[in-house]
Structure formats: C-alpha cells, structure tokens
Chains A and B, each alone.
Chain A
Amino acid sequence: MSTLLETRGMTKRFGGIVATDDLDLEVREGEVLGLIGPNGSGKTTTFNLLTGFLTPDSGEIRFRGEDITDDRPYHVSRRGIGRTFQTAKPFSQMSVYENMLVPAADVSGGAREEKARRILENLDIDHVADNDAADLSGGQKKLLEIARVLMLDPELILMDEPGAGVNPALMDDILDRIRQLNDQGRTFLIIEHDMSVIDEITDRVTVMNAGTAIATGPFEEISEDERVKNAYLGS
C-alpha cells in the first residue's frame, strides 16, 4: 500500500500548550485508519491541521507526495480530502437536496443535480431529499454529511467521531456505508472513542497521547501495548 497522506514533525502550539508535538502520521491508500487517544491528546487539532483550518508551527503535511501544509480548507477539499465534523454541520435551514448542491463539485447544472440524487439514493436518504435538514435524526444528519462530501469524489475522508449522537441501529448503517465506500477504493481516517467501532471498522490504528503518536498497528496489537494502556489509564 502506498502512502496517501503523511505528516512529518508536525507541531502546533497554543501559547504554552503543545497540541501536536513532532507528530508523524501515515495514512495508506485504501485503508481505514483509526485515530484514537485520551481526551486532549490532539486528535481534533490534528484534523484541523490536516484540513487547513490551522497551520502547523513546524513540520509538513503531504498528500500524494505534494506539500499541502499551507493550503486553506477549500484547497484541501479540492485536492481530494473530505471531512465530516464531530458535531454534524448540516445547513439546517436548507433542504437535504439543497445541501447537496453546496459542494463545489466539478460538474454543473443538470449533471450536479443528477449526481446529488444518485448519492442520496445510494445512502438511502433520498426519501427525505425535500425535507429541511433541521428535521433529520442524528444519524441521518451524519449520512447527509457523508453524502455532501461524496459530491466532491474525495480519495480520503476524515471523519471526526461518526458515532457521536447516533443511535446504535443507525450506527451499524453508517459503518456499512463506510465499508462499502472503502471497498470502492476510498481511504478513511476516523477519530472514534467507541473501541468496538474501532475494532470493527479499522485496518490499523494510531494512538495519540500528549500530541504525539505513541503506537500504530492493528487494533488487537496496539490494545495490548503497554504505552497505550498507560496513556488511557494515566499511569
């Protein structure tokens, strides 16, 4: 598997706090990589750095070998990196269908509308296309976020806690969608606190603690790692 996204020595400080500390991270093409760690370990900051909402103080970020360290979010997105947020951010005063037309997809007019309909159908939320996004359930909002991201045909999708605020039945549905999209060749980087989800869905896991990656490997392997146990247990 070739490297799709990597960071080298990525450091971000907020005043005296080091949010990411000389972080090396590698996402391989076609995999589902989990990013786990205790609260405050720098996972969401890492996502914000990878997607251009923050710029690292030092180090670099490469996507397909190209330096994207100073890219703004819309550049990152146009390069083929999609992102969903920890708290789903549907445009709630728009219909589901209108939400699908916001992405700057490289198709326009009728083709854009056709693509939007097709994606909504594939994710089984086409029956709520004309509803206000505000009226969707927590799980449907997460699916809508995925659907919107798919309008841009991303190679890599970053998901920040896809399970947050979703009932267990719909969570299974979301996991099925992730698997299906992964089978179609899309790569995923997923932050998740629910270890059963991580165990079920990921090929590899990177564990962060105090802004740095302390272990990477298959879930069964890293769950036995002493450094990981210490990080979670705080000993």
Chain B
Amino acid sequence: MSGESIRAGIDRTLGQLSGDVRSAKGMFMLALLLIAAVSPLLVSRHWVGIIIQIAIYALVVLSWNFIAGYFGLFTFAHAALFGVGGYGTAIVAAEYGVPPMLAPLLGGLAAGLLALPVIVPVLRLADDYVAMVTLAYAEILHRAAIILDGITGGPTGYTGIGSMFGGGQLVFFYFVLAVVAGLALLQYGLLVSRFGLIARAIRESEDAAQMLGNNTIRFKTIGFVIGSSIAGIAGGLQAYYIGIVSPPMMALTQMIDFLAMAVVGGLGVMTGPVAGTVIVHGSTEALRQIGDIRLLLWGILLIAVILYFPKGFMGDDRFWDRIEALLDRFRGGSS
C-alpha cells in the first residue's frame, strides 16, 4: 500500500467519521467515550477497574463483530484466541523481558498466527459448520493451555507478568482507553473502505462477490487474521489488567459472554459491541451487590433486549430514527 493510498484512506475515514459522530448513534458513542474519559474523577477505583474491563471486553467483541458481523463468519474461537494473546503477552514479557507496551502487540501476533490453522477449514465451510469447526479448535487451544503446564502454568494459570506503568491504575486506564479507541478507529477505517464493502458483499453472497472479480478467500483470510489479532492484543491488555492468564479466559463460557454482548449490542453495526459490552458487563457488575438474584434479573434483561431490540440495541433503526428525529428538533430549535 503506497503512502498516498494510506493518506487517502485516512482522509476518507476522517471524512466519514465527522459525519457519523453527528448522528444519534455517533453522539451516543461520543458521550460514552467522554463519560469513560472523565470517570476517574467521578467514581471509585473499583468502578474505574470495571470500566477498564468493559473497554477490554468491548475490544474483543468489536473484533468478533468485525469477523462475524461483517464477513458472516461465526467463529467460536475468539475467546480462545483472546487467551492466546494473553499467554503470548505474559510469556514474552516475563520470559524474554519484552517491554509492557510492546508485549500485547506480540500477543496479538501470536493470536493472528494461531488463527491460521483454523482458517483453512473456515474458508471451505459455511454458516453452522464454521461455528462447529471453530468451537472444536477453541477447545483444542483451551485444553492445550491446561495440558502444556511447562509453558502456560497449567490449570492454575501463568503468573509473574508484572505490571504496566509501575502498577498505576490511572495511567493504565488511559492507556487501555487509547488502545481500544485507536484499534476501534482502525476497524472503522477498514469497514468504511472498499474492504468493508466487500466484507458485507461476502456476508450476503460469496458466490456473487467472487463472480464480480473479488478474491473472497484473500478478503476472508485478512479479515479473520485482523480480527483475531485484535482479540489477541485485548488478551494482552487483560493479562496486565488482572496479572494472571488462566484457562477460563479461553473457555466456552467466556465465549458465550462475548456472544451475549455482541447480540445485545447488535451484529454488523460498529457501535453495537461497545453498547452491548456496557449493558451486559456493566449490569452484571452493578447488580453484583444484590447477590445471586442478579443472575435472574440479568436473564430478564437479556430477554427484554431480545424482545424489544431483536437486532440488538444499536441495530434497531426504528428506535434510533426516533432519537434522530428528536435530535433534529433540538438542532432546529437551537439554530
């Protein structure tokens, strides 16, 4: 890619972004980002920690949505690759002394590399079969993390990763926020480009997309590797956040949590994963004080969202059109 085409891509992304942030959904996202940015002034350390966790999970769900929501490849290997990124980061940092700010990038590389073996069957299969083969692959990675205890620390996990920024929560908080925002912007830039258009075409009809001269295998491979690598980087941030990487990070239950966040937020909508993660993880934490009854309430919340927003909270255009109309009235009144 030439410098000129990268510049043109950045210009196009910023041009599109300046329009999108003025929409109701864009303003909602901007408001969430601003609230997150000032939150250390307003809430306790405990809640700043929860916002860090939401930001990391949002990055994982964003990258899953990049693969599943746009290309239509419903991978179940994403939590496992999130874990691979965590282990990769922890191992290069602890064993090889890689600096903390660089280590998550290598974790992302590890996840990208370990995504490659499953891409071959994924490219040949469609729909439910993609889910099945990636589920099996995820279980292989999960079991490997348990069995290979000489490398991974086995069932108890890998410790000794150290901390980022000397353990200062506030700097780490802003670092995570910046990384998540930067990688979200990268995905946004790709999705508003021709790359995103072809991804959506593949999701709808790969045959037609191919017959229109597009090497769909190349697009799907690139999409899968980018999405998996970003999950790996998120895994690296998670490793520094909790100070341990252990097999549950790669388990199916973790994957199901990510799926719940994606579905609640809305598939194939860039803003969906952020809203979904805030709603699902935020409510889980907010309800923690009331004990186990929170699981019941959480279930009711999930059913309510699915009933009233079947396309997810951000995917329901009628709802957002109404908000847009209200905003227009406000804009009209203020001008």
Contacts and interface: CB of A to CB of B under 8 A. Distances in A.
A91 B211 CA distance: 13
Interface stretch (B100-108, B179-187, B195-203, B302-310): B195-203
B13 interface: no
B205 to A, nearest CB: 4
A103 interface: yes
A105 to B, nearest CB: 8
B97 to A, nearest CB: 46
Interface in B207-233: 207-216
B214 A74 contact: yes
A102 B212 contact: yes
B5 to A, nearest CB: 10
Contacts of A101: 194, 197
B149 interface: no
B317 to A, nearest CB: 11
Interface residues of B, number: 17
B208 A104 contact: no
Interface string A55-76: 0000000000000000011101
Interface band, chain A: 20 to 34
Contact of B198 (A76, A102, A149): A102
A73 B205 CA distance: 13
B214 A89 contact: no
Interface in A114-152: 148-149, 151-152
Contacts of B20: none
Nearest to A154: B213
A72 to B, nearest CB: 7
Contact of B197 (A76, A83, A85, A102): A102
B113 to A, nearest CB: 26
Task: Give the interface centre of A72, A73, A90 by most chain B CB atoms within 10 Å.
Answer: A73
B204 interface: yes
A83 B211 contact: yes
B216 A92 contact: no
Given A93-B200, A101-B197, A151 B210 contact: no
A93 B211 CA distance: 18
B71 to A, nearest CB: 13
Contacts of A83: 211
Contact of B213 (A78, A90, A93, A94): A78
A72 B123 CA distance: 14
B210 A73 contact: yes
Contacts of B211: 51, 73-74, 76-77, 82-83, 85
A94 B215 contact: no
Contacts of B200: 91, 93-94
Nearest to B208: A89
Contacts of A151: 212
A89 B204 CA distance: 8
Contacts of A82: 211
A91 B213 contact: no
Tell me which of A77, A94, A102 has the highest count of chain B C-beta atoms within 10 A of its own C-beta.
Answer: A102
A85 B208 contact: yes
A93 B199 CA distance: 12
A155 interface: no
B210 A91 contact: no
Contact of B212 (A53, A77, A92, A93): A77
B208 A98 contact: no
A152 B207 contact: no
Nearest to B215: A74
Nearest to B212: A103
20 contacts: A51-B211, A53-B207, A73-B207, A77-B210, A77-B212, A89-B204, A89-B205, A89-B207, A91-B200, A91-B205, A92-B204, A93-B204, A94-B197, A101-B197, A103-B214, A104-B214, A105-B213, A148-B212, A149-B212, A152-B213
Given A72-B210, A89-B208, 6 more contacts: A77-B213, A85-B207, A98-B197, A103-B212, A105-B213, A152-B213
- Nearest 9 CB-CB pairs, A to B? A104-B213, A103-B212, A73-B210, A89-B208, A77-B213, A89-B205, A91-B204, A102-B201, A83-B211
